[in-house]
Amino acid sequence: MQNRAKAKAATYSNGQSIVLGAGLIVGAAIWAGQVFAQDGETVIVSHGYSNFDELMYPAGFAHLDYVNPEAPKGGEISQWSQGTFDSFNMSTRKGTPAALATIGYESILVGTADDPYGAYCYLCTTLEYPESRDWVVFNLRDDVTFSDGTPMTAEDLAFTFNLYLAQGITEYREVYSQFIEAVEVLGPYKIKFSFTQDAPRRDVVTWVGGTSAFSKAWFEETGARLDESTDSPFLATGPYLLDSVDIGRQIIYRKDPNWWGADQPLNVGRNNFETIRVEYFADSSAAFEGFKSGAYTFRVENSSKEWATGYNFPALDNGWVKKEELPNGSIGSAQAFVFNLDRPQWQDARVREAVGLMFNFEWSNESLFYGLYQRVNSFWQNSDLEAKGAPTTGELAILTPLVEEGLLPATILTDDAVLAPLSSTTTRPLDRGNLRRASALLDAAGWLAGDDGVRRKDGQTLDAVFLQYSPQFDRIVNPMIENLERLGVNAKLERVDTSQYVERRRSGDFDLVNHTLTQGFEPGQQLRQWFGTEAADDSSRNIMRLRSPAVDRMIDAVVAAETLADIQTASKALDRVLRAEGFWVPQWFKGAHTVAYYDQYRYPETLPPFALGSLDFWWYDAQAAAALKDAGAFQ
């Protein structure tokens, strides 16, 4: 079973086609568990849940395939973050959250880095659900404790679930509150979730299975709230605790010596570091200098310029630092500039298209990125959910009714999926052909150039302000701004500190801003938070404020899909419609992890397809660390 599932995950991650039997709607947890009758209904009992095919790991497995079960424990790994922070609560709009603020939180079910569809009992021993999935019961472990030593019970999970529905971020409450009928504590270690008739059945088990474990007694005693900023994490059950904090400068998390889950099969070979340290820097240049001097020891390199030209410092030359490109089988990152669609100037698709034509990726990749990137076109780049070419027969069946209702143009049925615009030149930032196309689009939209070359409509200039916080992006944004100025757009870069950046993205106080909209292998109800009208007014995901009846209907089709083939078809159709909406200027993605680290860390010989795992299943080599220290690697 495991070999077959591993082949499935590897094949899927390479973007090849998968065909599964049509009878796998409920999930092959049926084969992994027991079946019995209750009130005339078939009930499935299993150690995990999957909507498709068999679970990759059988009941009673010893450890995950991709970990080193003998990995030594101890040592420290350190990384960097930019800006500052003043809160440890990720579930509120108040404050700027700290890096790794949820590192100590655990949920009822968990996924793995090699099974894109499976969810496994973690805080539970088994789960029970009927074929209708009208409800699910979790039989909880009786040995789980919070970090203060008190036991975790069903009451704590019921409390946490209801807390999110009452005090969670608006986009979550708006989408999910309508899907729960009841939460019942059936015993100290048994909890039942019942779902409304309208709840999407493919999502319900994993949705409630993602409930974190917070202490009801601690919340009641402290008066803490989910919608307020906090100066420390909530009391939870996980492997790491906040050890020390220097607000805005440094955070250290330390392994809980009494952590209940150290020997749980899902944890064997994981959570290996004694401490995890995060150093904060004002900008990426200062952070890179800090890495060179050993101020922190592990770096995921996101700058193509630094990767191509910056790694020539002594610590690398003498072998203290390793520089590696490691495989990444995840969906390609859908990174982009997104428009704030609430701004009047961006409500005309022709204007948005004109702005997008002024980003010359081909020149940027050759001149700025050293050829390390590829252009992103899809929200499911490099996967079986990416729309390509003209619609398939299955896509047409979904799209045609929306065309007949006037929600989509007829061209969506015949045209190829929208691709990011190409530039014909890599020798200069401005492509004159694209400039002419953009000029014609703005003329048609009524934005006409005056004697001063600036475009106006109804007396208003066409303004485009790029909101940024990192100087690292200046060299990318400024050439685009110069191109926009040639077009007659009053464009500029506005760089603010991290706190302002976070708040202005949340509140919609921007014209264009960076966003990453990458989706998962099994899209469902969470799409409403990313693209749904109900999340447009107050969202950390639908920050472009997209309100599209066609997109809403397409999301319905994806949520309703049950077989893997149907999900792939519906997702391709949605991808096609989202790309046609044109609310983004696609940027780029990279098909590998580019990392540099001091040569005191080790990782399994074969990495899983969907995670780098540097804070998860890597480990510390104490002997190598001692050699580095003796050699003077750390100043």
pLDDT digits (tens, 9 = 90+) for 327-382: 999 999 999 999 999 999 999 999 999 999 999 999 999 999 999 999 999 999 99
> Residue 516 is inside which H or E element, if any?
strand 512-516
Rg (CA), the chain: 25
Work out the average pLDDT over 480-503: 95
pLDDT score recorded for residue 93: 83
Topology of domain 240-329+591-631 in CATH is D-Maltodextrin-Binding Protein; domain 2 (3.40.190)
Instruction: State if pTM tops 0.85.
Output: yes
Confidence of residue 18 (pLDDT cuts 50, 70, 90): very low
Angle between helices 349-356 and 432-444 (to 10 degrees): 170
Closest-CA residue to 393 (of 260, 573, 590, 582)? 573
Pick the CATH number of 335-589 from 3.10.105.10, 3.40.190.10, 1.10.3470.10, 3.40.605.10: 3.10.105.10
Contacts of 389 (CB under 8 A, 6+ apart): 416, 417
- pLDDT range class, residue 152, cuts 50, 70, 90: very high
Report helix, strand and coil shares of the chain as percent, to nearest 5: 30, 20, 45
* Helical segments of 133-265, H only: 154-167, 170-176, 201-209, 216-222
For range 37-61, the mean pLDDT = 89
54-73 tens-digit pLDDT: 899 999 999 999 999 999 99
The pLDDT score that the predictor gives to residue 565 is 95
Query: What is each CA distance from 363 to 309, 381, 480, in whole angstroms?
Result: 18, 21, 11
Question: Sorting pLDDT into bands at 50, 70 and 90, what band is 158?
Answer: very high
CA distance readout (Å), 631 to 264, 294, 325, 625, 634: 38, 13, 26, 10, 9
Average pLDDT, the chain: 92
Residue 498's pLDDT is 86
The CATH 3.40.190.10 portion of the chain extends over 2-62+105-222, 240-329+591-631
The full length of the chain comes to 635
Residues 468, 494 contacting (CB under 8 angstroms): yes
Q: Which residues pair with 457 in a beta bridge?
A: 460
Is-contact 414 390, C-beta < 8 A? yes
Chain-centre distance for alpha carbon 77? 23
Q: pLDDT tens for residues 608-631? A: 999 999 999 999 999 999 999 999
Is residue 294 scored above 80 in pLDDT? Answer: yes
Domain limits, CATH 3.10.105.10, in the chain:
335-589
The pair of three-digit structure tokens given for residue 188, joined into one six-digit string: 């100290």
Q: How many CB atoms lie within 10 A of CB 600?
A: 24
pLDDT at 10: 29
Give me the CATH code for the 2-62+105-222 domain, please: 3.40.190.10
The pLDDT of residue 172 is: 85
